[in-house]
Structure 1
Amino acid sequence: GLNIHFLHVKPQKVPSGVQVVPLLLLHGWPGSVREFYEIIPILTTPQKGRSVVFEVVAPSLPGYGFSDGASKQGLGSAEMAQIFNKLMQRIGFKRYYVQGGDWGSIIGSDISVLFPDHVIGFHSNMCFVNSLMSNLKLFLGSLAPIIINASQLEIEINYPLSAKYSFIILETGYMHLQSTKPDTVGVALRDSPVGLAAYIIEKFTTWTNPAWKDLDDGGLTKKFTLDKLLDNVMIYWVTSSITTSMRLYSENFNKARRNSGIDSLPVLVPSGCSRFRYELAFLPRFVLKDKYQKLLTLTGHEDGGHFAAFELPEVLAKDVFDFVEEERKSVQIKQEL
Structure 2
Amino acid sequence: MSARVEVVEVFEARASDADLQDLRARLAAARLPEAETVLGAAPGPGRWAQGVPLADLIDVVDYWRTGYDWRRFEERLEQVGQYRTTIDGLGIHFLHRRSPRADATALILTHGWPGSIAEFVDVIDELADPKSADTPAFHVVAPSLPGFGYSDKPATTGWGTEKTAAAWVQLMQRLGYPTFLAHGGDWGGNITTVLAGRYPEHVLGIHTTFAEAPPGMTTDGLTPAERAWTEETYDFWHHRAAYAKQQATRPQTIGYALVDSPVGLLAWILDKFAEWSDTDDSPFETLSIDRVLDDVTLYWLTRTGASAARIYYESHNSLDPDLKVDVPAAITTYPRDIEKYPRPWARQRYRNIVRWTSPESGGHFPSLEVPGFFVRDLREGLGAVLAARR
State the TM-score, normalizing by the size of structure 2. Answer: 0.74
State whether residues 131 and 264 of structure 1, in contact with CA within 8 Å, keep that contact through their aligned partners in structure 2: no
Name the counterpart of 1:144: none
User: 1:133-175, CA deviations, whole angstroms, 9 ceiling, x for partnerless residues?
Assistant: x2x2x3x2xxxxxx33x4x6545x426x3x6523432221101
Distance apart, 1:37 and its partner CA: 1.2
Greater alpha carbon shift after TM alignment, 57-66 vs 68-77 = 68-77
Distance apart, 1:112 and its partner CA: 1.1
**In the alignment, does 2:93 pair up with 1:5?**
yes
Name the counterpart of 1:116: 200
Name the counterpart of 1:36: 120
Name the counterpart of 1:291: 349
State whether residues 11 and 54 of structure 1, in contact with CA within 8 Å, keep that contact through their aligned partners in structure 2: yes
* 2:137 partner SS: strand
Q: Give, in whole Å, the separation in 2 of the partners of 1:99 and 1:171.
A: 26
**In the alignment, does 2:111 pair up with 1:27?**
yes
**In the alignment, does 2:267 pair up with 1:204?**
no
Distance apart, 1:45 and its partner CA: 2.0
Distance apart, 1:47 and its partner CA: 4.4
Determine which structure has greater relative contact order: mean sequence separation of CA pairs < 8 Å that are 6+ residues apart, divided by chain length: 1
2:139 to 37, 55, 75: 55
**In the alignment, does 2:252 pair up with 1:168?**
no
Q: Give, in whole Å, the separation in 1 of the partners of 2:161 and 2:237.
A: 22
Name the counterpart of 1:67: 151
Q: Give, in whole Å, the separation in 1 of the partners of 2:334 and 2:154.
A: 33
Distance apart, 1:187 and its partner CA: 0.6
State whether residues 19 and 53 of structure 1, in contact with CA within 8 Å, keep that contact through their aligned partners in structure 2: yes
Greater alpha carbon shift after TM alignment, 283-292 vs 175-184 = 283-292
Q: CA RMSD in A?
A: 1.8
- Unmatched runs of 5 consecutive residues or more in structure 2: 1-88
Distance apart, 1:129 and its partner CA: 1.6
1:231 to 284, 289, 294: 294
Greater alpha carbon shift after TM alignment, 44-53 vs 80-89 = 44-53
State whether residues 328 and 388 of structure 2, in contact with CA within 8 Å, keep that contact through their aligned partners in structure 1: no
Name the counterpart of 1:102: 186
Q: Give, in whole Å, the separation in 1 of the partners of 2:156 and 2:93.
A: 19
**In the alignment, does 2:180 pair up with 1:180?**
no
The runs of at least 4 consecutive aligned structure 1 residues that moved more than 3 Å come to 152-155
Q: Give, in whole Å, the separation in 2 of the partners of 1:54 and 1:131.
A: 34
Q: Give, in whole Å, the separation in 2 of the partners of 1:76 and 1:303.
A: 31
**In the alignment, does 2:176 pair up with 1:79?**
no
Q: Give, in whole Å, the separation in 1 of the partners of 2:152 and 2:301.
A: 13
Distance apart, 1:49 and its partner CA: 6.2
Q: Give, in whole Å, the separation in 1 of the partners of 2:226 and 2:375.
A: 22
**In the alignment, does 2:329 pair up with 1:271?**
yes
Distance apart, 1:281 and its partner CA: 1.5
Name the counterpart of 1:220: 283
Q: Give, in whole Å, the separation in 2 of the partners of 1:84 and 1:166.
A: 33
Give the number of aligned pairs.
Answer: 302
**In the alignment, does 2:382 pair up with 1:328?**
no
* 1:31 partner SS: coil
Q: Give, in whole Å, the separation in 2 of the partners of 1:3 and 1:222.
A: 36
Correspondence 1:125-140 to 2 at 5 A:
125-132=209-216, 134=217, 136=218, 138=219, 140=220
State whether residues 47 and 53 of structure 1, in contact with CA within 8 Å, keep that contact through their aligned partners in structure 2: no
* 1:276 partner SS: coil
* 1:293 partner SS: coil
* 1:263 partner SS: coil
Correspondence 1:140-159 to 2 at 5 A:
140=220, 147-148=221-222, 150=223, 153-155=225-227, 157-158=228-229
* 2:157 partner SS: coil
* 1:75 partner SS: coil
Name the counterpart of 1:143: none
- Unmatched runs of 5 consecutive residues or more in structure 1: 141-146, 333-337
Identity among equivalent positions (%) equals: 33
